[in-house]
Amino acid sequence: MALFHSVSDIDYNEAFAKHAEIIHLMGRDVEALQLLKRAKTVRDSLQIELLNTQTEQVKSIHDVYLLQQEKERNYRYLQIIIISFLIVSIIAITVFIVYTYRARRKLERDEAEMRRMTDEVELANSAKERFLSNISTSISQPLDEVVGNSLLLASERQIEDQQRVAISEVVNKTSSDLMQLINNILDLSRLEAGMMRFILSDVEIFSLIQDAATGTSIGNGRKINIVCPQSALFWSHIDGPRLLNVFNNLFAFVISGKELQVAIEVNQEGTELMIKVYGTLLAHQNLSQDMIIRNEINRMIISHFKGVYESKTEAQTPYIYLTLKGNLTSFDQN
């Protein structure tokens, strides 16, 4: 027991218990019982102390684990913050690049549009100059002829009656053509400025085309062949006199030696009229200034009523193609 006392409390206590057992074998039970109680008390205190020591060790390990967890958590938070910052930076850079790209594309489109508009203005100015030059010639020549012949008729020169009649007819025809040209120029100016006044009403197109063809046939002595749907009427809410003027322009200039033909079709829904006019000079190239003006007037009038007006000069047989909006009805429905 003296050897164990300075080395190990546990071994000393066990030796103490052996001592109590030896005392018990010697018959000294009371003393052995006291020794056993003392040994048990010491053993319990040692176990409690050991348990407290283990508990402290567990607490220390737990504290170390918590510190490590806190460190890892802080490290993860730092990683999340860095990753979030990188993502936000990438998104901001991407948005900036996209915005810069779009701004550059818009700038390029605006520059291209400005160049296109500049080219169109230059072309328009050039066309305007050519138009004014041609118009000046188209007006001045017949005007000079009218003035010259009028002065001739008003002079005191002796002119035979037959020659006077011929000169009067020339003056009348030239004056009429000149007035028609001036009226066409004024109509074109009103259409381009959006100042043309239209009086709308429900017009039956087949009858209107027939009226224009009849008037032209009587005036020129030429027959006009019209092919259109039978037993039906096509109504359009349009300016009838203006549309009649369009067909009068088409039928007034006929290719010499050819019959003027008008082919009329209706789409399946019965809402659009498709018209082809063959044999009119307005469908050809190298037109006179008067024909160019009439073609442009026709196009702008038809376009105003949501239609199409095109010169098919590239076709084997050139023709004018135009469309009109409206409704097809049968005679019974009408």
DSSP string, 12-50: HHHHHHHHHHHHHHTT-HHHHHHHHHHHHHHHHHHHHHH
pLDDT at 133: 67
CA–CA gap between residue 129 and residue 191 (Å, rounded): 19
**Residue found by looking up tokens 């096509």 in the block:** 234
Find, among 302, 332, 333, 330, the residue nearest to 234 by Cα. Answer: 330
70 part of a folded domain: yes
**Residue found by looking up tokens 């009086």 in the block:** 199
Range of the domain at 139: 1-154
pTM of the predicted model as reported, rounded to 2 decimal places: 0.58
CA–CA gap between residue 263 and residue 268 (Å, rounded): 16
Find, among 217, 314, 329, the residue nearest to 273 by Cα. Answer: 329
Residue 14 dihedral angles phi and psi, to the nearest 5°: -65, -40
Total structural domains in the chain? 2
pLDDT at 334: 43
State whether 221 and 311 are in the same domain. yes
User: 29-154 and 161-193 are packed helices; what angle lies between their axes, rounded to 10 degrees?
Assistant: 170
Per-residue pLDDT of the chain (334 residues; tens, 9 = 90+): 677 666 666 677 777 778 878 888 888 877 778 777 777 777 777 778 778 888 888 888 888 888 998 899 999 999 999 999 999 999 999 999 999 999 999 999 999 999 988 888 887 677 667 666 666 667 777 777 777 877 777 776 677 778 778 888 888 888 887 888 788 888 888 888 888 889 999 999 999 999 888 887 765 667 788 888 888 899 999 999 999 999 988 888 887 777 889 999 999 898 999 999 998 888 888 888 788 888 889 999 999 999 999 998 888 889 999 999 999 987 654 4
Over its C-alpha atoms, the chain yields an Rg (Å, rounded) of 56
Q: Which of 119, 139, 154 is the last residue of a domain?
A: 154
Query: 16, 35 in Cβ contact below 8 A?
Result: yes
CATH no. for residue 222?
Answer: 3.30.565.10
State whether 232 and 122 are in the same domain. no
State whether 8 and 148 are in the same domain. yes
Q: Which of 94, 120, 154 is the last residue of a domain?
A: 154
For 151-186, letters b (16+ CB in 10 Å) and e give eeeeeeeeeeeeeeeebeeebeebbeebeebeebbe
Q: Hey, what are 106's tokens?
A: 């818009």
Element (DSSP H or E) covering residue 252: helix 240-252
Q: Hey, what are 200's tokens?
A: 């709308």
pLDDT at 17: 76
State whether 35 and 106 are in the same domain. yes
State whether 211 and 140 are in the same domain. no
